[in-house]
Structure 1
Amino acid sequence: MSESSSDHGEARASKGLAICVFCDVEPGQDPETHRLAGELGALIASRGHVLVYGAGGSGLMGAVARGVSQGGGSIMGVLPTFLYERDHAAGAPAQTLMLTRDLTGRKLRMMASADAFIALPGGYGTLDGILEVAARAELGLHRKPLVLLDYGSLWEQFRDLISGIDKRGFAVSDTPLFQLAYTAQEALRIVEDKVTA
């Protein structure tokens, strides 16, 4: 397995969308977030979509991937070689695995492979993915929808931060770069509506 140069069509193992889920390898402190990740994975599978994610088997990554796997869905995991060698994607369900040289390559591969993005609550890696997708959208490099699936008002706080940056003239966009959703069903509905619009 090695870094590939193919386009997003490779991620599609079915007629559905390739949905990149940004989330954490940590479980977080609230079991409800873990449940939400599993529910999102189950819905991705039930609606015929492909999960594109960071290939982890623990925390929220593991929960969303197991939700997809248990629902019979397809999974594309993207992992830097050094993480593969360190923990071999411990506990992750069966998936098509893409190896990249580093974390930047992982992020770029995930973005290129996806038709849409959903972010669960997470840490630095999740924020990195969100900001890269939003920055590229602001520059007009893509029109793929980004939905932040909120729990515990984390993404509401992020929205308020971005609003403050916008009001100070540091972010310029004619349309919102992301939307908030509060249920897995709502998040999927938004990306499906936007991609097919």
Structure 2
Amino acid sequence: MNQLNKICVFCGSSDGNDLAITDTAERLGEIFAERNITLVYGAAKIGVMGTIAKSVLDNNGKVIGIIPNFLKKKEVVHLGLTELITTENMHERKLKMQEASDGFIALPGGMGTLEELFEIITWLQLGLHQKPIGLLNINGFYNDLIKMLETMVRKGFLSMDNYNLLLVASNPDQLLKKMEEFKTPQLPKWLNSDRA
């Protein structure tokens, strides 16, 4: 079983227009606090990001925010976090998030959320970390993305092993269970030989 003491959550800086998303973000925050899981996230007080951070804090949980200097504006950054880490740029931010976390969850969001999700799963694919990555598919938000990944498999651009690196569930409890039970796959031979 994987020890998930700190989980990084990628999600939107907007609220979107589906209340199920913000409701589930609130519930995930409650679960983190109940299980003593520290939230690691992008440090904003707005959107789904702000919703989950507020939920964790309101339930006496811990929140670590990581934000680059250029985004650190008073109207965006959450000033009531357990810890706030400032980085020089976006690349350093993502590296710090990876180093600070035992696993990752993507909630609904936009381009930035997808970019963070695919970078962290590519790092797993390349053996740069061995941490579980979950996709919380709230109200079918990620159905089309999952279909796209299936197309990549069908067309020969994505192996089933790498497709299965992304753990998918529609509710937080199911997803956390999958993440706890995640077993890191062996690296492909071509990567192992380069590292010898």
TM-score (norm 2): 0.85
RMSD: 2.0
Residue of structure 1 aligned with 2:43, choices 46, 50, 55:
55
The answer for the alignment partner of 2:172 in structure 1 is: 184
Aligned length: 181
Give the match for residue 79 of structure 1.
67
| Contact 2:44/2:76, CA 8 A, preserved across alignment | no
* Aligned-pair identity (%): 33
For the residues of structure 2 that align with 1:88 and 1:35, how far apart are their CA atoms?
A: 21
Secondary structure of the residue that 1:179 maps to in structure 2? Answer: strand
Which amino acid counterpart does residue 25 of structure 1 have in structure 2? S
1:23-56 deviations in Å (ceiling 9; x for gaps)? 1110011111111101101101110111000001
* Residue of structure 1 equivalent to 2:8: 20
Give the superposition deviation at 1:86: 5.9
Residue from 113, 133, 139 that aligns with 1:126: 113
Residue identity opposite 1:165 in structure 2: M
Deviation at 1:189, TM superposition (A): 1.9
Aligned partner of residue 142 in structure 1, secondary structure: coil
Does residue 97 of structure 2 align to residue 110 of structure 1? yes
- Contact 2:65–2:81, Cα closer than 8 Å, also in 1: no
| Residue aligned with 1:19, SS | strand
Once the two structures are superposed, what CA deviation does each residue of 1:103-145 show, in whole Å capped at 9, x if it has no partner?
A: 2221221112111011101101110111011111111222211
Per-residue deviation, 1:16: 5.5
- Max radius of gyration: which structure? 2
Structure 1 residue 78 displacement after superposition: 0.4
Q: Is the contact made by 1:138 and 1:173 (CA closer than 8 Å) also made in structure 2? A: no
Q: Which residue of 2 aligns with 1:157?
A: 144
The alignment partner of 2:44 has SS state of: coil
Report the AA paired with residue 66 of structure 2. V
Aligned equivalents of 2:174, 2:4: Cα separation in 1:
17
Determine the C-alpha separation between the residues in 2 that align with 1:134 and 1:171.
Answer: 12
Consecutive unaligned residues of structure 1, counting only runs of 5 or more, are 1-14
Output the TM-score relative to the length of structure 1.
0.84
- Which consecutive unaligned segments of at least 5 residues does structure 2 have? 184-196
Offset at residue 194 of structure 1 (A): 2.8
Instruction: Summarize deviations over 1:71-116 as a string: whole Å, max 9, x none.
Output: 11111100011111463515x5322001011122212211121110
Q: Is this contact kept in 2: 1:57–1:93, CA < 8 A?
A: no
Q: Tell me, what secondary structure is at the counterpart of 2:168?
A: strand
1:7 paired residue number = none
Q: Partners in 2 of 1:93 and 1:187 — Cα distance?
A: 28
1:173 Cα deviation after fit? 5.5
Contact 2:4 2:103 in 1 (8 A): no
Distance in 2 separating the partners of 1:126 and 1:165: 20
1:38 maps to 2:26: yes
Distance 1:156 1:102 in 2: 32
Contact 2:4 2:180 survives alignment (8 Å) = no
